[in-house]
Amino acid sequence: MGEKKSQNHENWTNIIQPRKGWFDINLKEIWQYRDLIMLFVRRDFVSIYKQTILGPIWFILQPLFTTITFTIVFGKIAQIPTEGIPEVLFYMSGIVCWNYFASCLNKTSDTFFANAGIFGKVYFPRLVVPISTVITNMFTFTIQFVLFLLFLLYFKISGSSVNLTGWVFFTPLLLLYMATLGLGVGIFISSLTTKYRDLTFLVGFGVQLWMYATPIVYPLSQVPERWRWLYSFNPMTVVIETFRYAFLGMGTIQLWQIGFSVMITTFIFLAGLVLFGRVEKTFMDTI
């Protein structure tokens, strides 16, 4: 009998063991499931605008309409200065970055509830789902980023005072930074919502408030000096200001603010990973 059990054990191709440590994250296992990640990416990308008339064109129309609205409301009516930058470029630069971060946060914050059915039937590293969401949104960001570059080219040829700086080479790092922040906040909230469901209603509302607390519709230089230090605690401030400085030649950011924001983002990401790992063991009993 004992020999039979030993024989069966040797035939297992995958042995699932309980996690004990706080940072017991098996990166090798996640890499082994890379095909599943790409499968989820394809599924999510195709299903977003499936059965719609305009299809992928919505990827372009959304930031375009938002930019037009911001230009009319905040540029023409409220007359908020943009430091000499064309209003369309100023608002679109903030919208493109913010859309990526907000989309990562919103979609990953619903990981456990949206995938409870598949989580309860088959085993795979649960982090595969939010990681695939972040990658899917990178395709959307790329499309909207190209749209921004086309507008930038148009205004540059038209003689507008916009200047590229060497910081454009840090764009991939900015994208990675936003992905880390969005994933960290998203899985942190997703873990909490398994117990406190009120947070699902707070997420959408909170993301909107966060956007207005980020210098997207106004430049950071318009914030009074005595309040500007508060923006150092908002990690997205660094992203928006650095992105604008890289592609438009304007922005108010210092190196210590970048370092401080990286520390905050790292802390949020690690806290999200720890909480996500703790909750995934028992969430099926609570949702």
Q: Are 161 and 167 in contact (CB under 8 A)?
A: no
Say if 8 falls within a structural domain: no
HEC string of the chain equals CHHHHHHHHHCCCCCCCCCCCCCCCCHHHHHHCHHHHHHHHHHHHHHHCCCCCCHHHHHHHHHHHHHHHHHHHHHHHCCCCCCCCCHHHHHHHHHHHHHHHHHHHHHHCCHHHHCHHHHCCCCCCCCHHHHHHHHHHHHHHHHHHHHHHHHHHHHHHCCCCCCCCHHHHHHHHHHHHHHHHHHHHHHHHHHHHCCCCHHHHHHHHHHHHHHHCCCCCCCHHHCCHHHHHHHHHCHHHHHHHHHHHHHHCCCCCCHHHHHHHHHHHHHHHHHHHHHHHHHCCCHHHCC
Say if 27 falls within a structural domain: no
Task: Please tell me the total count of domains within the chain.
Answer: 1
CA dist., res. 271 & res. 22, Å (int): 10
Say if 25 falls within a structural domain: no
CA dist., res. 108 & res. 175, Å (int): 17
CA dist., res. 40 & res. 34, Å (int): 10
Say if 145 falls within a structural domain: yes
Can you read off the two tokens belonging to residue 176? 């990675």
Task: Say yes or no to pLDDT of 19 above 70.
Answer: no
Q: Are 165 and 245 in contact (CB under 8 A)?
A: yes
Highest mean pLDDT of the ranges 3-7, 26-30, 48-52, 163-167: 163-167
pLDDT on residue 109: 86
Task: Say yes or no to pLDDT of 49 above 80.
Answer: no
- CA–CA distance from 65 to each of 60, 155, 240, 278 (Å)? 9, 18, 20, 41
Say if 22 falls within a structural domain: no
pLDDT on residue 225: 85
Say if 24 falls within a structural domain: no
Query: Over the stretch 75-104, which tens digit does the pLDDT of each residue have?
Result: 999 999 888 889 999 999 999 999 999 999
Say if 5 falls within a structural domain: no
Say if 274 falls within a structural domain: yes
What pTM was estimated for this model as a whole?
Answer: 0.86
Query: Over the stretch 212-236, which tens digit does the pLDDT of each residue have?
Result: 999 999 998 888 888 888 988 999 9
Instruction: Pick the range with the lowest mean pLDDT from 1-10, 246-255, 259-268.
Output: 1-10
What is the domain range of residue 192? 32-285
